[in-house]
Amino acid sequence: MKIGAALGFNLTDYPGKIAAVAFAPGCNYACPHCHAKPILGAAAPINARDFLDYLSTVGEWVNAVVLCGGEPTLQPGLIPFIKEIRAKKLSVKLDTNGSNPAVLSQLLAGGLVDYVAMDIKGPRHLWPNLSGNPGAESAMLESMKIVPRFPVYEFRTTIAPVVRGADDISFLTVPEMAAAAKMLAEVTGSANHKYYIQKFVPRKDGLLDARLESFPETPVLLLQDIHTEVLKYIPNTQMRG
């Protein structure tokens, strides 16, 4: 298992738990608004054994591990790594882009992950623009059906600027997010999901598409208007800062 970066503990990424965080390097997406640019290369500066040894020293207060990235399901050593974490009696949360339903199915069958958070990039017709991977559609749709079978899960969408053309970049709109929420309910056959809509926050010298670094945070009024509309399709939708 390769680890591109790590946090010794975190109070926000795993609700209700104190979690160490491991960031897997590499991703099969190239989302223009992605903040993970520094770890998307192949370098692995954190030794996985050192991370596991660290967990053994903080067991009295760290009670979970969050695996994010990059995209953790691309790592061939992911499942053995999770098994070692679980042997330490720690809960595991996985953040994923949903591009690897086969691995999600393995994790589900093995009871290896307690909490899964999957990104819904936006409405289906904008997935190529938002993910940078026009061939990922079928995998994401399959993963959307698998994720609700985990003990705890959430779907989430960042209300990000969309690169619609060479000189056309604008935030996701209320109708577009209504379409995304409707799609989620239709694909999964249920509207009973925890769904978060969260603001985009620019980061200088840290986004995959440097043009988005000059954009502001998602306007509060836009986030509120989207929330109001999305509630019609997914009643348990919440705004996240």
Question: In this predicted model, what pLDDT tens digit does every residue of 49-74 receive, in sequence order?
Answer: 999 999 999 989 999 999 998 999 99
- What SS3 state is found at 107? helix
CA count, 13 A, side-chain hemisphere, 19: 22
DSSP symbol at 46: B
CA count, 13 A, side-chain hemisphere, 174: 13
> In CATH terms, is domain 5-240 a member of 3.30.565.10?
no
Question: In this predicted model, what pLDDT tens digit does every residue of 96-155 receive, in sequence order?
Answer: 999 999 999 999 999 999 999 999 999 999 999 999 998 889 999 999 999 999 999 999
Indicate the domain borders of the chain: 5-240
Average pLDDT, the chain: 94
Mean pLDDT value of segment 233-240: 97
30 to 82, 103, 118, 124: CA distances (angstroms): 26, 20, 16, 16
DSSP symbol at 21: E
Q: 66 pairs with which residues across the strands? A: 21, 93
Considering the chain, what percentage of its residues have pLDDT values greater than 90? 87
DSSP symbol at 209: S
